[in-house]
Structures are given as structure tokens and as C-alpha cells.
């Protein structure tokens, strides 16, 4: 498998993205085509995201959190949030650029205090009952990667 190439921006994106979404997959790829695994959330995290008119909330969790994690990650890549002990959760407001398909998320609250107040940029597309989110970020070591998250509409 390789990195998904996004289609042109979705018409009426702000309207179409509203709802509740369940994470189907999350993959990080280098420009050279190598896959990177998130060291905190693992290869196949579970997640939930919801969008209302101007607000959103997101949660991600490592699929198996039964192991005790003794090291907390306190820094993350550019244009991304910090997760702790296999869990990440945050909420805030968002603004949509309908022409580019980019969405700016400003975090009002977060499980990680250093996330509060940051704004992260994402490319979003809605194709039928799927929400595709793509972001350019880096690994903890600074390697540029593109993350792709595919969600299924729950409501």
C-alpha cells in the first residue's frame, strides 16, 4: 500500500463534513514511500471525530492499551498534536477554506496542556460516507511524513 493522493476539494465541504465519524485507518508515509508507525498510538489506532457547525472534538487511542506505558511522549511532529500513554483527545473550533479543502483546527482543550491554543491544518475530503483527512507533519526525529486518516460516517 502507499500514500493516498487526494482528489480535488469537496464542494460544500463544511456542510458535508458535519457529523460523527469512526476511524477506519490511519497511516503515515514518507515522501520516498516508506511507512512510519506512530510510536504512541501504534499501527492501528481506534478513533472518533465529530464536527458541528463551528466546533469539533477528536479522540484517538492505541488499540491495545493493556500494557503499562512508562514513557510519556511530550513532543510531536510539526502541525500535529501530542498523545500521552497511547491516548490523544482534544476539541475546539475550526475554519474551512472551501477553495483549497484545507481546514484549520484551533484547540481549546486537550488531554495534553501543550496542545491548548495551537492551530493545526488538515486537508479534508468527503466522498460518500467517508471522510478523508490528510496532513503534512514530521516524525519525532524530524522526518517529513504525510498522515492519512480515513473515517466512516456514524451519524
Identify the pLDDT of residue 50: 98
> Coil, strand or helix: which one is 16?
helix
| Residue ranges of domains in the chain | 13-153
Overall pTM > 0.95: no
- How far apart (Å, rounded) are the C-alpha atoms in residues 95 and 46? 25
pLDDT, one tens digit per residue, over 22-72 is: 999 999 999 899 999 988 888 999 999 999 999 999 999 999 887 665 555
Q: Which residues contact 19 (CB under 8 A, 6 or more apart)?
A: 50, 51, 153, 154, 155
User: What are the CA-CA distances from residue 79 to residues 47, 52, 57, 132, 136 (Å)?
Assistant: 19, 22, 17, 17, 7
pLDDT, one tens digit per residue, over 57-115 is: 999 999 988 766 555 554 567 778 888 888 999 999 999 999 999 999 999 999 999 99
126: left (phi over 0), alpha (psi -120 to 50) or beta: beta
**CATH-assigned architecture of domain 13-153:** Beta Barrel (2.40)
Mode of pairing for the β-strands spanning 55-61 and 35-36: unpaired
Asked if 98 and 104 touch (Cβ cutoff 8 Å), the reply is: no
Amino acid at each position: 500500500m502507499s500514500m493516498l493522493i487526494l482528489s480535488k476539494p469537496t464542494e460544500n465541504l463544511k456542510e458535508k463534513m458535519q457529523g460523527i465519524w469512526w476511524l477506519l485507518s490511519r497511516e503515515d508515509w514518507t515522501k520516498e514511500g516508506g511507512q512510519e508507525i506512530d510510536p504512541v498510538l501504534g499501527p492501528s489506532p481506534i478513533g472518533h471525530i465529530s464536527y458541528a457547525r463551528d466546533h469539533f472534538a477528536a479522540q484517538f487511542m492505541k488499540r491495545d492499551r493493556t500494557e503499562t506505558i512508562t514513557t510519556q511522549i511530550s513532543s510531536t511532529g510539526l502541525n500535529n498534536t501530542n498523545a500521552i500513554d497511547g491516548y490523544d483527545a482534544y476539541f475546539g473550533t475550526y475554519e474551512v477554506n472551501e477553495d483549497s479543502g484545507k481546514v484549520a483546527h484551533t484547540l481549546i482543550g486537550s488531554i495534553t496542556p501543550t496542545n491548548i491554543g495551537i492551530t493545526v491544518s488538515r486537508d479534508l475530503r468527503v466522498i460518500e460516507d467517508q471522510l478523508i483527512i490528510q496532513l503534512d507533519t514530521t516524525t519525532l526525529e524530524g522526518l517529513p511524513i504525510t498522515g492519512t486518516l480515513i473515517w466512516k460516517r456514524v451519524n
